[in-house]
Amino acid sequence: MDRTERFHLIDMMLSGPGVVTFQRLQERLEVSRATLKRDLEYLRNRLNAPIVWDRDAGGYRFEREERVGGQYELPGLWFSAEEIHALLTMQHLLANLDAGGLLGSHIQPLMARITGLLGSGRHPAEEVRKRIKLIPLAARRLSLEHFAALGSALLRRKRLLVTYYAKSSDETSEREISPQRLVHYRENWYLDAWCHLREGLRSFAVDGVRRAEILESHARDIPEKTLDAVLGAGYGIFSGRRLAWARLRFSAERSRWIALEQWHPKQRGKLQRDGRYLLEVPYADDRELIMDILRHVPEVEVLAPEALRDAVIGKLRAGLDRLA
């Protein structure tokens, strides 16, 4: 019986009428005296269990007054050491998002509980944090004020009036939108929404929102299948229904990495006899795909379509012209 099972059994036994003797607990749990003492101490000090020793009755019981409405509740879901380590990694990610302290009051109790649980194991929380380092790549600064407004409207199903700066066109516009979902993609946040100005689905970079006002009008709900079909079918963050398929062939040396990567949920890949790797991915807008292809030059060939190959060649020539 592992410690999780023991905690639940202790909780069940002490929840009944009367008291439970130390000997009875030890027999049911099949553990040593030292282990049982550690379990009781952990339940009291870490999980705030209102366990008291009734000297007159000669056994343990829950303090009834504290039990009603108290803070103690044995979790229905228990975390293993590996799961707690994963949650601490999530804490690093949350810390990057919460640079201004906006979410701190909400996540701090959870992280304190996780830290307490982990602190009892072989790898203290501080040691884990010291040994895990996350390096954000190309993450943009986020306005937490606007992020809170977007998130609130999203969950309350309210429309938003936003002032939005589009970096691609270098233009600022005012739009009324119905938020659908927040997406964290390549270290940055995006809001998928129905744009009432354009009468269509759009993906807005959160760092492009200059002002956000929550309106009282109800947001228009778009089925998830439609969101995926319009915003999730193509390559990367760019939307579109009209898809083309890119056929890319990587050198044998680069294939050792590419064969393990996921470029798109519906990609098709095949390792060829000569060690090269053939990758096929759908796209509606080639801008992000071209950037990823250029990262692997000269270890990649664009086999099809011809328009994509010409676009990649054009980018390469433009880059050489700038260097000349």
pTM, 2 dp: 0.61
Nearest to 60 by CA among 9, 1, 2: 9
Instruction: Give the whole-angstrom CA distance, residue 149 versus residue 88.
Output: 27
Answer yes or no: is pLDDT of 39 > 80.
Answer: yes
| Lowest mean pLDDT, pick from 43-52, 88-97, 151-160 | 88-97
Amino acid occupying residue 228: D
Distances (CA, A) of 20 to 8, 52, 137, 265: 15, 11, 56, 55
User: What's residue 229's pLDDT?
Assistant: 84
User: What's residue 109's pLDDT?
Assistant: 63
Kindly report the length of the chain.
324
CA angle 173, 174, 178 (to 5 degrees): 120
Answer yes or no: is pLDDT of 132 > 80.
Answer: no
Nearest to 166 by CA among 202, 139, 138, 201: 202
Is residue 238 very low, low, confident or very high in pLDDT (cuts 50, 70, 90)?
A: confident
- Mean pLDDT (the chain, rounded): 83
* Ordered domains of the chain (ranges, CATH): 3-67 (1.10.10.10), 81-131 (no CATH), 147-231 (2.30.30), 244-323 (no CATH)
User: What's residue 189's pLDDT?
Assistant: 85
What is the 8-class DSSP label of residue 261?
Answer: -
Report whether 9 contacts 29 (CB < 8 A).
yes
How confident is the model over 146-156, as a mean pLDDT? 87
Cis bond upstream, residue 109 (ω within 30): no
Answer yes or no: is pLDDT of 44 > 90.
Answer: no
Tokens of 223: 């089925």
pLDDT digits (tens, 9 = 90+) for 246-260: 999 999 999 999 999
| Lowest mean pLDDT, pick from 14-18, 48-52, 242-246 | 14-18
Report whether 31 contacts 39 (CB < 8 A).
yes
Count of beta carbons in the 10 Å neighbourhood of residue 236: 20
Report whether 303 contacts 247 (CB < 8 A).
yes
Q: Which residues contact 143 (CB under 8 A, 6 or more apart)?
A: 206, 207, 209
User: What's residue 121's pLDDT?
Assistant: 47
Answer yes or no: is pLDDT of 67 > 60.
Answer: no
Higher-confidence residue: 71 or 278?
278
User: What's residue 68's pLDDT?
Assistant: 42
Q: Which helix (H) or strand (E) holds 12?
A: helix 3-15
Instruction: Give the whole-angstrom CA distance, residue 103 versus residue 101.
Output: 6
